């Protein structure tokens, strides 16, 4: 059975009747032209935007039976830009660690990001470093499903490879990943099944 299952998801005028089956341990690379609605599809799965129709289930449980925050902490969307809050890297991690739903993992979330100094002002991070912060923060939250939106696109190849390895490890440990990526070789590197959008 799929870990994340979507049936007939519609968000007009961007996409109609999308299905998705994402099994535990699986990475699916989603590619398609810019502006085709890939990001909106990820946002719809994460329940960040309302949809016009469709069913989404996690582990067979219908999304509407869980409240929004609980769903999103399990099906976690990571924005391409590596969104930062004001303050240091440590402040950024602490803000997420303090969320009620993340209490159990607070220590792990605060632990710090591989390759980043915790006292660095988050505003000064490069694009790639900000993406590293975002990915680390997301992985530390131990979601069931990661929805990655070009999550390593601004990293140098070496750094990208390291984070691809961490995402692969997340899947190997039973997670599932839907990864929007323009880099066609990414799928090969992380052993992903490829799907086109729309």
Q: Which stretch binds other proteins (CB under 8 A): 26-34, 76-84, 172-180, 184-192?
A: 76-84
Q: How far apart are CA 179 and CA 76, in angstroms?
A: 12
Name which position in 2, 99, 111, 118 contacts other proteins (CB under 8 A): 99
Name which position in 8, 17, 33, 69 contacts other proteins (CB under 8 A): 69
Q: How far apart are CA 134 and CA 117, in angstroms?
A: 14
First to last CA, the chain: 24
Nearer to other proteins, 142 or 195 (CB): 142
Nearest distance in Å: CB 83, other proteins? 4
Of residues 148 through 187, those in contact with other proteins by CB under 8 A are none
Torsion sign (Cα): 119, 116, 76, 170: negative
Nearest distance in Å: CB 158, other proteins? 26
Query: What's phi and psi for 17, nearest 5 deg?
Result: 55, 45
Cis amide linkage into residue 13, ω under 30° from 0: yes
Which positions touch other proteins (CB under 8 A)? 46-50, 67-70, 72-73, 76-79, 81, 83-86, 95-96, 99-102, 134, 137-138, 141
């Amino acid at each position: 059975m799929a870990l994340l299952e979507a049936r007939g998801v519609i968000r007009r005028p961007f996409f109609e009747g999308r299905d998705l089956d994402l099994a535990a341990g699986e990475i699916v690379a989603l590619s398609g032209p810019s502006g085709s609605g890939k990001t909106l599809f990820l946002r719809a799965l994460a329940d960040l935007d309302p949809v016009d129709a469709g069913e989404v289930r996690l582990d067979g449980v219908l999304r509407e039976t869980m409240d929004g925050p609980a769903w999103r902490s399990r099906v976690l969307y990571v924005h391409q830009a590596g969104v930062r809050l004001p303050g240091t890297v440590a402040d950024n991690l602490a803000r997420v660690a303090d969320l009620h739903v993340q209490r159990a993992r607070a220590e792990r979330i605060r632990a710090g990001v591989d390759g980043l100094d915790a006292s660095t002002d988050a505003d000064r991070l490069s694009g790639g470093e900000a993406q590293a912060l975002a990915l680390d923060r997301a992985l530390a939250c131990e979601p069931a499903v990661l929805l990655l939106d070009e999550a390593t696109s601004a990293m140098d190849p070496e750094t990208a490879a390291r984070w691809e390895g961490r995402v692969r490890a997340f899947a190997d440990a039973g997670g599932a990943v839907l990864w929007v990526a323009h880099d066609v070789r990414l799928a090969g590197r992380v052993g992903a099944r490829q799907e086109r959008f729309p």
